[in-house]
Amino acid sequence: MALLWIHAVEQGFAYGIAALGVFLTYRVLKFPDLTVDGSFVTGAAIASVLLVRHGFDPFAVMPIAFVAGGIAGSITGLLNTRLGITNLLAGVLTMIMLYSINLRIMGRPNLSLLRVPTATRVIDAAWLPLGPLAILAFVTLLTLGIKLLLDGFLRTEIGFALRATGDSESMITAQGVNTKRMKILGLALSNGLVALSGALVAQYSGFADVGMGLGTIVTGLAAVIIGGTLVRSSRVGWMTSSVLLGSLVYRVAVILALRYGYVVGFQASDLKLITSLLVILALVVPYARERRMRKVSAC
Amino acid sequence: MKQITTAVILAALIAAIGLVATSEPLRIGICKIIEHPALDAVEQGVIDTLTAAGYVNGVDVEYLIASAQGDFATAISIAQNYRAQDVDLVVAIATPTAQAAVEVFRGADTPIIYAAITDPVGAQLVASATDPSGNGNVTGVSDMIPVSAHLRLLMDLSPDIATIGIVYNPGEANSALLTEMALAAAPSVGVKIVTATADSTADVPLAAQSLVGRVDAFYVTTDNTVVSAIDSVLAASEEAGVPFLMADPTSLAQATLAAGFDYYEHGLTVGKVVLEVLSGVGTDEIPVTYQQSAEVHLNLDAAARIGLVFPAAVIDQAAGILYGGTVWKRGTP
């Protein structure tokens, strides 16, 4: 049974990297970016094609996927800042374009990775003493490493300018910062992370599919908002941690619904309902406690 | 005396094994990528085959039925849940669910039976379609349809048919492959193929309309996106006054004619493979099973609307017709 929770954490962290990307646009830049549904697949597609057709190293494909996602994000940024297309539409347009582009990259709608060495399988064999914890350790180290890098970046001068662009565009323009460039940079970084997550998830799952990005924005936003509700802090390190926590809560909810849903009489088609009810529960418990505390202090 | 004791112990052991076998039901995980009439029918077909063979649901066998509801991450979680719960056998319906199951059950010997997959070798679920010895714990049934036979069937309808239009979603692995096969088969069949793509159900009407006036017949394979908006394809074909062949008899009412199998039948075939594995035949002894699909069904009502009279040769091979709103099967009085 413990195995299932290990898998929940693996997936929570693997998708957590994409959630960090969504956090960067939605929370930091205040830019609702829908590109991610496409760039997640772009990362998976690039990684799979390089692995299957060109025999690349499974770890080397991840930074390449990051760069590809970055290009996708900059396209949304250019559409928005240079051509004046509203943020939502710019993201939607890039996402739609990426559907065709991803098909071109893969050459077919589904690319199997079942017969090539993937990062997770290489780690599983190399870190044998860790047993079933090997993949968990790898995904956790990778995700936390990326989180720390992101934290560090957001504390640099450019990072501050990026955060200020989201907080108060007019003020930071007065300081002489080119906010257009900041937006493009933020979108590129965000979609780079999302594509990296896609490259990791494809290897973890054993295939890339042109439909696998559907809902990346929804689960990413869910993670950002669940995390933000559970951990209320405006410090960078806490905020990114909360995103990963939110992603974990979401995956645990799915696993709980899958594992115990049918025990209490739910059927397969009820899955999304139960998942959402569990997420609501996770949000309501701390909220109710807080209200009770406030009432007590008011007395 | 000693022999009697041995015999008694043996008998007790056999009885105990029998008891264990009856008290511990077999656990079978059945997962699909999304709720869909065809995939639901496969699931039902598998369960019905097992029930008919004496596996009573809840007594002899317990089904862990799951749907990823379109979410690929959930497809992985479902397979991981099956492995954590140590199910005895997995039936994986559609490509992503099957790939997820094969990845998650790597290193385990739990049999994985895939269903509704056009090209199991291309999806790398198995190494070879004909030689199962290297396929490990994976086998199953392909829903490949005989595309070139379908093209010939359309050409049999009228000597005027020179160009066939296919509406499909390039994002669906099965459909993209079948369209590719149609394009490859076209020269030898002696027909020209024109395609129109629809990325989503909402795009199907426009894609179908774009073929009006350019083609002499419409053809749709087992494409889930197009099937969801199949009425718009029939409307376009009738506007053009040309026949429309659908590769799934369950959609006969929305086509001029249909050829192939319905997915409940496919599920029954998958169920038979499951029974074979349960009876002790190794998955590495069962090659890829191909769904037999020779049936032709004619919709006379739709044919009348475009002024088409089916040639006698085609009527002769029809297994069923739709006439006056009623389906007539061959052999029914």
Mean pLDDT of all residues belonging to chain A: 92
On chain A, the residues whose CB falls within 8 A of the CB of B102 are 114, 206
Distances (CA, A) of A68 to A21, A47, A189, A198, B17: 14, 10, 11, 11, 58
User: Could you tell me which of B39, B104, B102, B113 has the C-alpha nearest to residue B77?
Assistant: B104
Phi, psi (deg, nearest 5) at residue B194: -120, 130
Cβ pairs A/B, distance under 8 A: 112
What's the full length of chain A, in residues? 299
Does residue A276 sit at the B interface (CB-CB below 8 Å)? no
- Asked if pLDDT for residue A5 goes beyond 80, the answer is yes
Closest chain B residue to A15, measured at CA: B73
Residues 6+ apart with CB under 8 A from B286: B132, B139, B273, B276, B277
On chain B, the residues whose CB falls within 8 A of the CB of A215 are 70-71
The string of DSSP codes covering A226-252 is HHHHHS---SHHHHHHHHHHHHHHHHH
List the beta bridge partners of residue B165.
B194, B218
Asked if B100's CB is within 8 angstroms of A206's CB, the reply is yes
**From start to end of B147-210, where are the E strands?**
163-168, 192-197
Report how far residue A108's alpha carbon sits from residue A6's, in angstroms, rounded to the nearest whole number.
Answer: 33
On chain B, the residues whose CB falls within 8 A of the CB of A209 are 72, 95-96, 173
Nearest CB neighbour to B199, from listed A99, A114, A209: A99
Does residue A110 sit at the B interface (CB-CB below 8 Å)? yes
Report how far residue A244's alpha carbon sits from residue A141's, in angstroms, rounded to the nearest whole number.
Answer: 13
pLDDT digits (tens), chain B, 333 positions: 556 565 555 555 555 554 444 568 999 999 999 988 889 999 999 999 999 999 999 999 999 999 999 899 999 999 999 999 999 999 999 999 999 999 999 989 999 999 999 899 999 999 998 899 999 999 999 988 889 889 999 999 998 999 999 999 999 888 999 999 999 999 999 999 999 999 999 999 999 999 999 999 999 998 888 998 999 999 999 999 999 999 988 889 999 999 988 889 999 999 999 999 999 999 999 999 998 766 899 999 999 999 999 999 899 889 889 998 888 888 654
pLDDT attached to residue A298: 61
Cβ atoms of A271 and A261 within 8 Å: the answer is yes
Residues 6+ apart with CB under 8 A from B257: B153, B157, B243, B244, B245, B246, B296, B297, B298, B299, B303, B310, B314
Closest chain B residue to A205, measured at CA: B100
Q: Which residue has the tokens 């800042």?
A: A81
ipTM here: 0.89
Return the residue in A93, A203, A254 with the most chain B beta carbons within 10 A, the one to mutate for interface testing.
A254
Give the N- to C-terminal CA distance of chain B in Å, as an integer: 69
Residues 6+ apart with CB under 8 A from A228: A27, A239, A242, A243, A246
On chain A, the residues whose CB falls within 8 A of the CB of B84 are 1, 3-4, 7, 259
Q: Which residue has the tokens 């598998």?
A: B46
pLDDT attached to residue B19: 47
On chain B, the residues whose CB falls within 8 A of the CB of A212 are 72, 96
Return the residue in A258, A259, A263 with the most chain B beta carbons within 10 A, the one to mutate for interface testing.
A258
Cβ atoms of A198 and A209 within 8 Å: the answer is no
Report how far residue A91's alpha carbon sits from residue B121's, in angstroms, rounded to the nearest whole number.
Answer: 36
What's the full length of chain B, in residues? 333
Interface of B with A (CB under 8 A): 35, 64-67, 69-78, 80-81, 83-85, 95-96, 99-100, 102-103, 106, 122-125, 127, 170-173, 176-177, 199
pLDDT attached to residue B80: 95
Stated pTM of the model: 0.86
- Asked if pLDDT for residue A8 goes beyond 50, the answer is yes
Angle value at C-alpha B34, between B49 and B98, nearest 5 degrees: 65
Report how far residue A94's alpha carbon sits from residue A80's, in angstroms, rounded to the nearest whole number.
Answer: 11
Asked if A254's CB is within 8 angstroms of B170's CB, the reply is no
**From start to end of B263-312, where are the E strands?**
289-290, 296-299
On chain A, the residues whose CB falls within 8 A of the CB of B66 are 258, 268, 271
Task: List the B26-32 sheet strands across, edge first.
Answer: B61-67, B26-32, B89-93, B112-117, B138-142, B289-290
For chain B, list the domains and their CATH numbers: 2-143+264-290 (3.40.50.2300), 147-260+295-329 (3.40.50.2300)
Residue type, A137: A
